[in-house]
Chain A
């Protein structure tokens, strides 16, 4: 099956700075890479996704990049705000159904 590794496991940034989370996957056939945000005590929610035919996607302060050759993808959050504090999960889809998740990154934005 797909194996997704996510780094770092924790990330502390000053408000206004950028945050970057990186993930690698093992199966080159994976074709869909979503990112989920889970605030404390709440359910994970999709914040952005990217498909294998695209190299970069941006939505306001968040962006995702994909390098298919190296099999890694990254989440970039610019101008971080306190409400960005959460656990972020990357994931990779293999064979249409099985979404494999990374272990998660706990992001803390310091005021």
Chain B
């Protein structure tokens, strides 16, 4: 069974802090994704990566950056956290690069920025 692990379940940070959200998958998946989930807005794609050191902007990349130095790890970085980044963050991975393979999600990190 695929396991996608997010380092923190709950996180509280102050405005202006630099925040790192870590995600690791153990099934050698090529694609990795970061979504944020907000009530009434569904899941919105922030960034994704289809290979090591590759990244692509999703629909709402502003205020975020990512890093993929190793295939199994995909980090989301909030350079200067703001209150409107309070949200549930979901990491996901999928197997194939050019195919319609299912997304496997982590348990999520609920981030509160005060």
Contacting residues of chain A (6-26) with chain B, CB-CB under 8 angstroms: 6, 9
**B interface secondary structure, majority:** loop
Q: How many residues of chain B have a CB within 8 Å of chain A? A: 25
Beyond the given A1-B59, A96-B98, please list 14 additional residue pairs across the A-B interface where CB-CB is below 8 A: A32-B100, A34-B103, A36-B103, A44-B43, A44-B90, A44-B105, A46-B103, A89-B42, A96-B97, A96-B100, A97-B50, A97-B56, A99-B33, A101-B35
Contacting residues of chain B (76-114) with chain A, CB-CB under 8 angstroms: 90, 97-100, 102-103, 105-108
What are 12 contact pairs spanning A and B, CB under 8 A?
A1-B59, A4-B42, A42-B107, A43-B107, A44-B103, A44-B105, A49-B102, A96-B97, A96-B100, A97-B50, A101-B44, A103-B40
A58 to B98, CA, bound (A): 25
**A interface secondary structure, majority:** strand
Q: Is B58 an interface residue (CB 8 A)?
A: yes
Total contacts A-B at CB 8 Å: 56
Contact A9 B40 (CB under 8 A): yes
Please list the 4 inter-chain residue pairs (A to B) with the smallest Cβ-Cβ separation, ordered nearest first. Answer: A32-B100, A43-B105, A103-B42, A101-B43
Q: How many residues of chain A have a CB within 8 Å of chain B? A: 26
Known A6-B42, A89-B43: A98·B105 in contact at CB below 8 Å = no
